[in-house]
Amino acid sequence: MSDTATMQAIAALIPAGARVLDLGCGEGAMLDFLQRQRGCTGYGVELDDANVLACVRRGVNVLQLNLEDGLAMFEDNSFDVVLQIDTLQHLRNAETMLQETARIGRSGIVAFPNFAHWPNRLSVLRGRMPVTRHLPYQWYDTPNIRVGTFKDFEVLATKNRLRILDAFGLNNGQIVRRLPNLCASRAVFHFEHA
């Protein structure tokens, strides 16, 4: 993720100086931003070789791990905040990884493309899977294993006894609090274990 407005909206949820774990950190842009702007410390977790190298070049501490293998190496509450920004939809074990996020972090933040955003609904009504900035792939070559909506995550959070501290949508870098399931291209949730 490199959209500055999105990074700022998510960073505002994270206390200055927090110890952060960024799961699926990509090239490390978010953690780099948090280090520079919020004085945070921590690690990124990434599988892709090129992304790991990009993190190292940015000065971001990174562990090369496959999230599908779990996070057993981390103790309970070992981080202030655990991030899953555009990661959850790529995982086969999404619910387990959400539970692990709540276990190893005092709080967690997830963000993912909101499939219920009105342009996506319109595309489906026209008989086609949506192709957008946040869902940029054709149905046959997408790395997304699943798609979800703002409302779907609320149900999953309740099922897993997670207390939502804040929830909003993002659309073109702007925070959307009114009708986010319909009006936001991305869903953002800040939560803790209840």
pLDDT one-digit tens code per residue, 91-146: 988 999 999 999 999 999 999 999 999 988 888 888 888 787 777 778 888 777 78
CA angle 69, 94, 32 (to 5 degrees): 75
The pLDDT of residue 57: 97
The pLDDT of residue 177: 97
Tokens standing for residue 35: 């280090």
Amino acid at 177: R
SS3 46: strand
Give the span between the Cα atoms of 193 and 138, in whole angstroms.
36
The pLDDT of residue 81: 98
DSSP 125-192: HTTS----SSS-S-TTT-S-S--B-HHHHHHHHHHTTEEEEEEEEEETTEEE-SSHHHH-SEEEEEEE
pLDDT one-digit tens code per residue, 153-188: 999 999 999 999 999 999 988 999 999 999 999 999
Tell me how crowded residue 26 is: count the other CB atoms within 10 A of its CB. Answer: 21
The pLDDT of residue 142: 77
Q: How far is CA 17 from CA 37, 40, 148, in A?
A: 10, 4, 32
pLDDT one-digit tens code per residue, 63-74: 999 999 989 999
pTM above 0.85, yes or no: yes
The pLDDT of residue 137: 78
The pLDDT of residue 159: 96
